[in-house]
Structure 1
């Protein structure tokens, strides 16, 4: 009867294999935990952080505007002989032409008293976007950079497009997922749903008019003064008007395409 002989080299190889398997298993578990923590951070923590920051900014804007309004009310009224005609834009909208020489950082008419919008503070949020159907109320800031605007849970104004209440296209972008995801459910908006844009001096009400469910990320036609898709030309407009454009990524959790919602200005009232 032969007794099997286990060589030391065989034992060492088996021990090495066990150690490699154990180390590999630990590595996989560690990577899985890290990925899980990353997903939790992106999906839950960034949403919480951005939403809280956006809510604070909305409250700060409201306090600032209320305080400035109270200061105006406290000022003595001028005598009848000294009064001048008001510069407030009437509710009936009159088309205005856009100055082609306006710089992209300062859209044409942004500083005009007839625009109904005061000169924005370009370093912070300057308006509030409210969508009743979505129970959404978020700040609007200049630009569409992720770090400076969108990742804060704000709606970002496309530099070079018009300001609220101006003839042309007031175009905004917002995250659909993570970082507050303010535009996650804009696909649920239906024609005639109202969208309000509130500035220091006025509240502009737009009515949803049309939706482009999907277009390319580079479709710049959707934010032109007369918005019309350059990729899907059947979607958009041919006549000048007072437009609002909301854009976000689609499908969810990707940035491959863009979802677009258009609205038209239907009213303006002083704040």
Structure 2
């Protein structure tokens, strides 16, 4: 207020407080503390009550500064309640300071894995690598060999049919690995070239069926008046043309197509398991086949059980029709 106002007594009936006048100067001086009620001057008797109401700390400017430092921290920082404990601050300071060479070496040795950890890691990597290699090998055997063998067999079948159409191949004696006929098993949807010999590298691994044409396991050709036309083929991998011959039933057709003829056989009997050394199944009158005399027979041989070569599975058939190609396909091949 800029207007004059009468002096009032303080709240407690005393006279108004007036600071002593500096006798030496009339320069600026600290104003008297105001009353908590309306800003009126406060008497000396009011000081304790005012400090208790406003929360100010008695004792002068120095005491108030100390109290402010305790509440807000030095230089206006965060209150003491929000400060980190002294132990934690010291820990952070120790982490921030640069390490000595001895401490750095000690920490490096502590981080270095032990010999047992290194050995366990090496063993684990060996196992993982071995597992990956085994998986790749299985994929190659079960998938890629079939893809490659089917491609090779299809190529040979196409080449064989083209040569027949052009008259380049004549019936007779064939060299090992040479294709000379096609085998049809309609029930199994099998059409595969027949090549001379039972070599894995030259014949069977290329997805073809091999003819037992060499001593001591030499068998007859289809055009022979009597005899046993023996064939071998993979049951698993490399095209697996004989994988499902165990599903054949008596009466199912097995057809051999050559340049001039169709030879139609009917499935007659099966030997589910026999030893690989049982070559009597290729005799002109095969043992255990049920045939009692000479005839025109076909024998299919493959491995069993699947994915092993421990035993052999044998299927026999008997010729029921010989049909010239000029008369068209036999009924067994007509859809």
Interval containing the TM-score (normalised by the shorter chain): 0.7 to 0.9
Unaligned runs of 5+ in 1: 1-6, 70-116, 230-234
**Alpha-carbon offset, residue 122 of structure 1:** 1.5
Whose Rg is larger?
2
Task: Give how far 1:52 is off.
Answer: 1.1
Post-superposition CA distance 1:39-85 (Å, at most 9, x none) = 0000000001001110111111111111229xxxxxxxxxxxxxxxx
Matched with 2:34 is: none
SS in 1 for 2:167: helix
Would you identify which runs of 4 or more consecutive aligned residues in structure 1 move more than 4 Å?
10-14
**In 2, are the aligned partners of 1:215 and 1:259 still within 8 Å (CA)?**
yes
Match of 2:175 in 1: 122
Structure 2 match to 1:99: none
SS in 2 for 1:225: coil
Question: Paired residue for 1:110?
Answer: none
CA shift at 1:269, angstroms?
Answer: 1.3
Mapped pair 1:151 → 2:209: no
Relative contact order (C-alpha < 8 Å, sep 6+): which is higher? Answer: 1
TM-score, normalised to structure 2, is 0.60
Residue 200 of structure 1 pairs with residue 259 of structure 2: yes
* 1:84-126 alpha-carbon deviations (Å, 9 max, x no partner): xxxxxxxxxxxxxxxxxxxxxxxxxxxxxxxxx8204324111
RMSD in angstroms over aligned alpha carbons?
Answer: 2.1
Given the alignment, which residue of 230, 239, 242 partners 2:296? 242
Write the mapping of 1:183-262 to structure 2, written as runs, cut at 5 A: 183-229=242-288, 235-262=289-316
Q: Which residue of structure 2 lines up, in the alignment, with residue 161 of structure 1?
A: 219
Question: Is 1:60 the equivalent of 2:159?
Answer: yes
Where do residues 27-46 of structure 1 align in structure 2 (5 Å cutoff)? 27-46=126-145
1:47 is aligned, of 146, 165, 171, to: 146
Q: CA deviation at 1:11?
A: 7.5
Other structure's SS at 1:126 match: strand
Which residue of structure 2 lines up, in the alignment, with residue 108 of structure 1? none
Query: Can you list the C-alpha shifts for 1:233-261, whole angstroms capped at 9, x where unaligned?
Result: xx442311100000000000000111110
Partner of 1:101: none
Structure number with higher helix proportion: 2
- Identify the residue that residue 124 of structure 2 maps to in structure 1: 25
Q: CA deviation at 1:145?
A: 1.2
The size of the alignment, in residue pairs, is 212
User: Whose strand proportion is higher, 1 or 2?
Assistant: 1
